[in-house]
């Protein structure tokens, strides 16, 4: 019976996590945006407001900062959380490793979203594996509702053992939707009460050894507790007579279950679902596995359950190549895996037929893949165009993580590694070339406004200090665009919508010792070209330093009231199909039109009105003047 | 009540998320268990977008290939790209003036698997009313007239009324009704 007082709602996985935070009594949450985790913090604040619960939510400068802030708040006895995507945990790894030893006081939960695929990340790393490395318990939800229900348990576990606890939803859990019956939020009236204990909170190596011993004891106790937990770990169809059993966790469990049900073989296969992959509930998992000739282990993105099994005989998974070792375990992939495994073990008599027919037909159509491209009207495009036209092929272009990684379509991005690397890598390139005492190529680093504050500040300090000489273009669109328009430090926008202290980019750069710091609107392409050239000249003068150009123009998708005029363009008969605009400016609103008569493989450019942003920038690009402004005015 | 698995495919900006919200709302009004997901690439605008919708007792938020009762294609290439999700005998509804764009290989696949293909020129109708962004609602209206759909037109109309901003509710309901009428012609 459902309680009529409990509301049933459809929530996005990330909203379900946010709701779970409230139902667990979480009082403070810190986060840095990153797909697929970005919707959690705003939902936490929104839900708390609507329930009239007082919480603090913060977009922090980066994940390390977020982690340390939330951890300190837990030291006061409050329940706190830190929220990020999987590569964000690399940034927060330093405090995380240490926090396992110091432990926590108020419940402290690390919510870290994985991205098998990867769909919008630089790696497919497995946060569960990070849990093993850091010696921190990991919970792995398979559905949005399970993620919500896991959070009160995670906080309770964290508090009972005074340990951080990781909750690892993956992309499809974060971005899945599910109808669920909500529980009542838990309102904790805990006051901050930091109890000094220097041997713990400021432990020197001697005490660290003792803390490590204590940590190991805690993990053994948590593992014992997981052995008998049948809420997150449970067997389905345990009575089925079968040679084969399946052990699965996270999203792949949900997918496998739906496939088995759809194919009418669900009752034939025992399935052990694991929601607590670390510390490993060994007796329970190995006791289950020992009852069957073969065991298929399905998890993502890496092997964590499989790797921890001490007996590998009869185990099928990533280790023996049954399950692909990279890429997302989509339903299509798992159907292939299951079809083969169920056939081999005699669960089904004949391999599943017909499942690939439609896929083969579609593959034969060779449908064009929609290119990933900067949006029409994106100010970054104009910046990249100006940079590339100024320094050409001989320039070295380091870039960073954000929308502007797509500057690679304009041949203006040569490297993209991790947050902040545009600046430190430009420094590295400079010093490597400088040692040769020959000509040092122009080097231009591009980085977004939010990324600059995330990882660029220490890199710029290092560049000035080591006297590296290059142009740094901060692509300032006044928002963290890629992850869904979160505010940046520069404008002081807070997670709850209020405005706090502003940190102008130009002040930060000047404060770090840059002498050439100029702000320019990149829509003025000719002006941008002249300015980046001037910046380059400055940085190579004897008294020069790394030179900063702040290319400032709001993101068109974010800007509520447009600051630039509508400039409608058209293509005249002068267009000779040279395609310069389509290749060098690479705006998706410049599309391939009819063939130019008498010219082989030459096609007119036509404006795709459905997506054109009326920015007028392409009119500045055509060297025949064939793209003309028919309405409005450029600049 | 039959379970329903449905895919809505198109490109960013076509109102795919709003379309699936209508079905979520209508299902919730009937007290049914629903799941779903939206998938898209890195592009903020103009990229491929697919919305999964599942009604009934299921565990994963994503439709399993070969199990979609309905594939609604707001854009023809995106419809073709997602054909593997459609079940044999399922309904394919595409936003197009006719089916001449469907390649021969796909037509014969439809025939051999019993797929019932429908087309409706929602873009043209919506544009004629001066409301190009309501093409998604024309198609949902059309769908609601098909016997395979477990929703009545009235149920979707109520859901759309609940979800529409006051300023556009009238135009939205008109688009839905026009689509419904279009299917009955």
Best of B6, B32, B35 to substitute, by most chain A Cβ atoms within 10 angstroms, is B35
Please give the pLDDT value at position A544.
Answer: 96
Nearest to B61 among A176, A364, A372 (CB): A176
Phi and psi dihedrals of B90, rounded to 5?
Answer: -75, 175
Same domain, A222 and A293: no
Q: Examine residue A560 and state whether it is found in any structural domain, yes or no.
A: no
Q: What is the distance in angstroms between the Cα of A258 and the nearest Cα belonging to chain B?
A: 6
Best of B16, B41, B66, B113 to substitute, by most chain A Cβ atoms within 10 angstroms, is B66
Buried b (16+ CB within 10 A) or exposed e, A56-94: bbbbbbbbbbbbbbbbebbbbbbbbbbbbbbbbbbbbbe
Q: Locate A597 and state its tokens.
A: 């008569």
Does A257 contact B at CB distance below 8 Å?
yes
Same domain, A486 and A446: yes
Task: Check whether B148 has a pLDDT greater than 50.
Answer: yes
Does B12 contact A at CB distance below 8 Å?
no
Q: Which residue of B has its CA nearest to A252?
A: B60
Q: How do residues A273-298 score in pLDDT, each as one tens digit?
A: 999 999 999 999 999 999 999 999 99
Domain count, chain A: 4
C-alpha–C-alpha distance, residues A6 and B27, integer Å? 18
Please give the pLDDT value at position A509.
Answer: 98
Q: What is the mean pLDDT of residues A488-509?
A: 94
Going by C-beta distance under 8 Å and a sequence separation of 6 or more, which residues neighbour residue A499?
A491, A492, A493
Q: What is the distance in angstroms between the Cα of B11 and the nearest Cα belonging to chain A?
A: 9
Cβ-based neighbour number of residue A442 at 10 Å: 21
Same domain, A215 and A301: no
Long-range contacts of A207-214 (CB under 8 A, 24+ apart): A208/A101, A211/A101, A211/A102, A211/A103, A212/A101, A214/A103
C-alpha–C-alpha distance, residues B127 and B134, integer Å? 9
Same domain, A460 and A597: no
Q: Which residue of A has its CA nearest to B61?
A: A176
User: What is the 3-state composition of chain A as percent helix, strand, coil, each rounded to the nearest 5?
Assistant: 40, 15, 45
| 45-104 of A, contacting B, C-beta below 8 A | none
Q: Which residue of B has its CA nearest to A555?
A: B44
Q: Examine residue A371 and state whether it is found in any structural domain, yes or no.
A: no
DSSP character at residue A478: S
Does B133 contact A at CB distance below 8 Å?
no
Chains A, B: CB pairs < 8 Å: 138
| 297-336 of A, contacting B, C-beta below 8 A | 330-332, 335
Does B61 contact A at CB distance below 8 Å?
yes
Q: What is the mean pLDDT of residues A178-206?
A: 96
Cβ–Cβ of A177/B67 closer than 8 Å? Answer: no
In Å, what is the CA distance from B102 to each residue of A365, A410, B11, B108, B122? 10, 34, 18, 10, 17
Q: Which residue of A has its CA nearest to B23?
A: A10
- Tell me the pLDDT band of A565, cut-offs 50, 70 and 90: confident
C-alpha–C-alpha distance, residues A169 and A36, integer Å? 9
ipTM of the complex: 0.94
Cβ–Cβ of A359/B65 closer than 8 Å? Answer: yes
Domain-terminating residue out of A365, A393, A416: A365
Q: Which helix (H) or strand (E) holds A434?
A: helix A421-434
Please give the pLDDT value at position B50.
Answer: 94
For A24-62, where are the alpha helices, taking DSSP H only?
Answer: 40-50
Domain-terminating residue out of A339, A365, A391: A365
Task: Check whether A5 has a pLDDT greater than 80.
Answer: no
| 536-565 of A, contacting B, C-beta below 8 A | 557
Q: Locate B33 and state its tokens.
A: 């268990």
Q: What is the distance in angstroms between the Cα of B155 and the nearest Cα belonging to chain A?
A: 18
Same domain, A299 and A316: yes
Domain-terminating residue out of A335, A365, A395: A365
Looking at per-residue pLDDT, the higher value among A46 and B2 belongs to A46
Q: What is the mean pLDDT of residues B36-55?
A: 81
Q: What is the mean pLDDT of residues A346-364?
A: 84
Give ∠ CA A506-A507-A513 in degrees, rounded to 5. Answer: 95
Whose CA is closest to A190, among A68, A67, A107? Answer: A107
Average pLDDT, chain A: 95
Task: Check whether A314 has a pLDDT greater than 60.
Answer: yes
Task: Check whether A538 has a pLDDT greater than 80.
Answer: yes
**Chain A residues with CB inside 8 Å of B27's CB?**
179
- Tell me the pLDDT band of A1, cut-offs 50, 70 and 90: very low
Same domain, A396 and A344: no
- What is the torsion angle, in degrees rounded to the nearest 10, for the CA atoms of residue A28, residue A32, residue A37 and residue A41? 30
Q: What is the distance in angstroms between the Cα of B105 and the nearest Cα belonging to chain A?
A: 7
Residue with tokens 């509301």: A7
Please give the pLDDT value at position A610.
Answer: 78
C-alpha–C-alpha distance, residues A394 and A396, integer Å? 7
Cβ–Cβ of B43/A120 closer than 8 Å? Answer: no
Q: How do residues A133-156 score in pLDDT, each as one tens digit?
A: 999 999 999 999 999 999 999 999
Same domain, A247 and A341: yes
Does A259 contact B at CB distance below 8 Å?
yes
Does B37 contact A at CB distance below 8 Å?
yes
Q: What is the mean pLDDT of residues A521-550?
A: 97
- Tell me the pLDDT band of A425, cut-offs 50, 70 and 90: very high
Nearest to A361 among B32, B77, B105 (CB): B105
C-alpha–C-alpha distance, residues A523 and A551, integer Å? 9
> Do B135 and B111 meet the contact criterion of CB atoms below 8 Å apart?
no
Q: What is the mean pLDDT of residues A105-119?
A: 97
3-state secondary structure of A75: helix
Whose CA is closest to A13, among A149, A159, A183? Answer: A149
3-state secondary structure of B154: helix
C-alpha–C-alpha distance, residues A51 and A57, integer Å? 15
Does A401 contact B at CB distance below 8 Å?
no
DSSP character at residue A583: I
Q: Examine residue A593 and state whether it is found in any structural domain, yes or no.
A: yes
Please give the pLDDT value at position B47.
Answer: 78
Q: Which residue of B has its CA nearest to A352?
A: B66
Query: A388-402, A539-553, A604-618: lowest mean pLDDT where?
Result: A604-618
Q: What is the distance in angstroms between the Cα of A267 and the nearest Cα belonging to chain B?
A: 15
Q: Which is it for the CA torsion B100, A602, A572, A381, positive or negative?
A: positive
Q: Examine residue A198 and state whether it is found in any structural domain, yes or no.
A: yes
Q: What is the mean pLDDT of residues A468-486?
A: 93
Average pLDDT, chain B: 93
Cβ–Cβ of A144/B61 closer than 8 Å? Answer: yes
Q: Examine residue A557 and state whether it is found in any structural domain, yes or no.
A: no
Taking the domains of chain B in order of start, what are their residue ranges? 4-184
Q: What is the distance in angstroms between the Cα of B172 and the nearest Cα belonging to chain A?
A: 21
| Residue A590: CATH number of its domain | 3.30.70.20
Does A142 contact B at CB distance below 8 Å?
yes
Q: Examine residue A32 and state whether it is found in any structural domain, yes or no.
A: yes
CATH of B4-184, one of 3.40.920.10, 3.30.530.20, 3.30.300.30, 1.10.10.10: 3.40.920.10
Task: Check whether B44 has a pLDDT greater than 60.
Answer: no
Query: Could you give the strand order of the β-sheet that contains A138-139, starting from the edge strand earlier in sequence?
Result: A56-59, A28-31, A80-85, A108-113, A165-167, A138-139
C-alpha–C-alpha distance, residues A210 and A214, integer Å? 6
Same domain, A198 and A91: yes
Q: Examine residue A349 and state whether it is found in any structural domain, yes or no.
A: yes
In Å, what is the CA distance from A436 to each residue of A254, A391, A425, A433, A463? 57, 21, 18, 6, 19
Q: What is the distance in angstroms between the Cα of A380 and the nearest Cα belonging to chain B?
A: 14
**Chain A residues with CB inside 8 Å of B35's CB?**
143, 176-179
Please give the pLDDT value at position A560.
Answer: 74
Nearest to B64 among A179, A259, A557 (CB): A259
Whose CA is closest to A519, among A383, A356, A360, A359? Answer: A383
Please give the pLDDT value at position A121.
Answer: 94
Phi and psi dihedrals of A315, rounded to 5?
Answer: -90, 125
Q: Give the N- to C-terminal CA distance of chain A in Å, as an integer.
A: 65
Q: Which residue of A has its CA nearest to B43?
A: A372
Q: What is the distance in angstroms between the Cα of B86 and the nearest Cα belonging to chain A?
A: 8
Q: What is the distance in angstroms between the Cα of A271 and the nearest Cα belonging to chain B?
A: 14
Q: Which residue of B has its CA nearest to A256?
A: B60
> Do A482 and A402 meet the contact criterion of CB atoms below 8 Å apart?
yes
Buried b (16+ CB within 10 A) or exposed e, B48-68: bbbbbbbbeebbbbbbbbbbb
Does B17 contact A at CB distance below 8 Å?
no
Distance of alpha carbon A119 from the chain centroid: 9
Cβ–Cβ of B34/A179 closer than 8 Å? Answer: yes
Q: What is the distance in angstroms between the Cα of B59 and the nearest Cα belonging to chain A?
A: 5
DSSP character at residue A563: S
C-alpha–C-alpha distance, residues A120 and A128, integer Å? 19
Cβ–Cβ of A172/B37 closer than 8 Å? Answer: yes
| 75-104 of B, contacting A, C-beta below 8 A | 77, 80-81, 83-84, 86, 88, 103
Same domain, A394 and A354: no
- What is the torsion angle, in degrees rounded to the nearest 10, for the CA atoms of residue A203, residue A204, residue A206 and residue A207? 0
Same domain, A155 and A129: yes
| Residue A336: CATH number of its domain | 3.40.50.920
Longest Cα separation, chain B: 46
Going by C-beta distance under 8 Å and a sequence separation of 6 or more, which residues neighbour residue B53?
B4, B5, B6, B7, B8, B20, B23, B24, B34, B36, B63
> Do A286 and A337 meet the contact criterion of CB atoms below 8 Å apart?
no
Q: Examine residue A538 and state whether it is found in any structural domain, yes or no.
A: yes
Task: Check whether A261 has a pLDDT greater than 90.
Answer: yes
Please give the pLDDT value at position B45.
Answer: 63
Segments forming the whole domain that contains residue A536: 379-552
Same domain, A222 and A238: no
Nearest to A365 among B48, B80, B86 (CB): B80
Q: Locate A489 and state its tokens.
A: 């430090």
Residue with tokens 């992309």: A171
| Residue A136: CATH number of its domain | 3.40.50.970
Q: Locate B118 and state its tokens.
A: 């429908």
Q: What is the distance in angstroms between the Cα of B49 and the nearest Cα belonging to chain A?
A: 11
Does A370 contact B at CB distance below 8 Å?
yes
């Amino acid at each position: 019976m459902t309680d009529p007082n409990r509301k049933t709602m459809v929530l996005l996985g990330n909203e379900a996590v946010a709701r779970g935070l409230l139902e667990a009594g979480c009082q403070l949450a810190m986060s840095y945006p990153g797909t697929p985790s970005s919707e959690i913090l705003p939902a936490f604040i929104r839900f708390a407001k609507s329930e009239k619960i007082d919480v603090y939510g913060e977009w922090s400068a980066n994940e390390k900062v977020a982690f340390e802030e939330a951890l300190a708040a837990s030291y006061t006895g409050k329940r706190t959380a830190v929220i990020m995507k999987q590569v964000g945990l690399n940034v927060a790894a330093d405090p995380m490793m240490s926090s396992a030893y110091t432990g926590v006081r108020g419940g402290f939960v690390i919510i870290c979203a994985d991205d098998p695929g990867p769909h919008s990340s630089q790696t497919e790393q497995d946060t569960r594996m990070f849990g093993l490395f850091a010696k921190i318990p990991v919970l792995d939800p398979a559905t949005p509702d399970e993620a919500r229900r896991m959070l009160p348990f995670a906080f309770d576990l964290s508090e009972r053992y005074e340990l951080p606890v990781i909750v690892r939803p993956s992309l499809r859990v974060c971005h899945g939707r599910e109808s669920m019956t909500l529980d009542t939020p838990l309102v904790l009236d805990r006051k901050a009460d930091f109890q000094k204990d220097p041997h713990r909170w400021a432990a020197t190596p001697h005490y660290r050894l003792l803390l490590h011993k204590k940590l190991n004891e805690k993990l053994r106790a948590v593992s014992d507790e997981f052995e008998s937990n049948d809420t997150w770990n449970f067997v389905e169809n345990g009575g089925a007579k079968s040679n084969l059993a399946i052990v699965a966790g996270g999203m792949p469990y949900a997918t496998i279950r739906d496939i088995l049900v759809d194919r009418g073989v669900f009752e034939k296969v025992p399935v052990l679902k694991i929601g607590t992959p670390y510390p490993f509930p060994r007796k329970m998992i190995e006791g289950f596995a020992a009852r069957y000739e073969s065991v298929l282990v399905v998890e993502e993105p890496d092997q964590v359950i499989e790797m921890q099994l001490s007996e590998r005989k009869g185990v099928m998974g990533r280790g023996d190549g049954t399950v692909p070792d990279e890429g997302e375990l989509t339903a299509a992939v798992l159907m292939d895996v299951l079809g083969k495994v169920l056939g081999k073990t005699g669960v089904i008599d004949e391999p599943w037929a017909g499942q690939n027919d439609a896929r083969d037909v579609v593959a034969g159509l060779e449908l064009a893949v929609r290119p990933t491209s900067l949006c029409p009207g994106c100010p970054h495009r104009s910046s990249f165009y100006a940079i590339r036209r100024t320094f050409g092929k001989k320039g070295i272009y380091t870039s960073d993580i954000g929308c502007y990684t797509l500057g690679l379509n304009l041949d203006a991005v040569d490297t993209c590694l991790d947050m902040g690397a545009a600046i430190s890598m430009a420094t590295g390139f400079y010093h490597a070339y400088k040692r040769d005492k020959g000509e040092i190529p122009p080097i231009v680093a591009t980085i977004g406004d939010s990324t600059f504050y995330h990882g660029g500040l220490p890199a710029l300090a290092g560049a000035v200090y080591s006297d590296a000489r290059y142009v740094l273009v901060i692509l300032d669109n006044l928002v963290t665009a890629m992850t869904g328009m979160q505010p940046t430090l520069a404008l002081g926008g807070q997670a709850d919508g209020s405005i706090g202290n502003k940190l102008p980019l130009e002040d930060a750069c000047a404060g770090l010792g840059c002498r050439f710091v100029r702000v320019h609107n990149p829509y003025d392409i000719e002006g941008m070209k002249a300015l980046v050239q001037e910046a380059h000249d400055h940085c190579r003068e004897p008294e020069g330093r790394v030179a900063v150009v702040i290319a400032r123009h709001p993101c068109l998708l974010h800007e509520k009231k447009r600051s630039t005029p509508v400039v409608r363009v058209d293509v005249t008969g002068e267009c000779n199909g040279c395609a310069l605009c389509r290749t060098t400016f690479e705006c998706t609103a410049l599309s391939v039109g009819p063939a130019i008569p008498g010219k082989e493989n030459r096609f007119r450019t036509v404006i795709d009105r459905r997506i054109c942003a009326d920015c007028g920038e392409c009119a500045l690009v055509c060297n025949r003047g064939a793209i003309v402004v028919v309405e409005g005015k450029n600049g | 009540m039959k379970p329903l698995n449905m895919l809505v495919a198109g490109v960013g900006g076509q109102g795919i998320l709003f379309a699936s919200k209508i079905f979520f709302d209508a299902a919730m009004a009937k007290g049914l268990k629903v799941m779903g997901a939206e998938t898209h690439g890195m592009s903020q605008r103009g990229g491929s977008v697919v919305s999964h919708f599942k009604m009934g007792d299921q565990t994963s938020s994503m439709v399993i290939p070969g199990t979609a009762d309905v594939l609604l294609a707001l854009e023809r290439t995106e419809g073709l790209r997602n054909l593997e999700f459609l079940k044999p005998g399922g309904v394919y509804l595409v936003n197009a003036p006719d089916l001449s764009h469907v390649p021969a290989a796909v037509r014969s696949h439809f025939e051999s698997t019993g797929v019932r293909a429908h087309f409706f020129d929602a873009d043209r109708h919506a544009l004629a009313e001066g409301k190009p962004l309501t093409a998604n609602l024309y198609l949902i209206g059309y769908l609601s007239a098909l016997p395979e759909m477990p929703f009545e037109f009235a149920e979707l109309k109520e859901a759309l009324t609940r979800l529409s901003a006051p300023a556009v509710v009238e135009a939205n309901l008109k688009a839905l009704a026009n689509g419904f009428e279009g299917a009955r012609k």
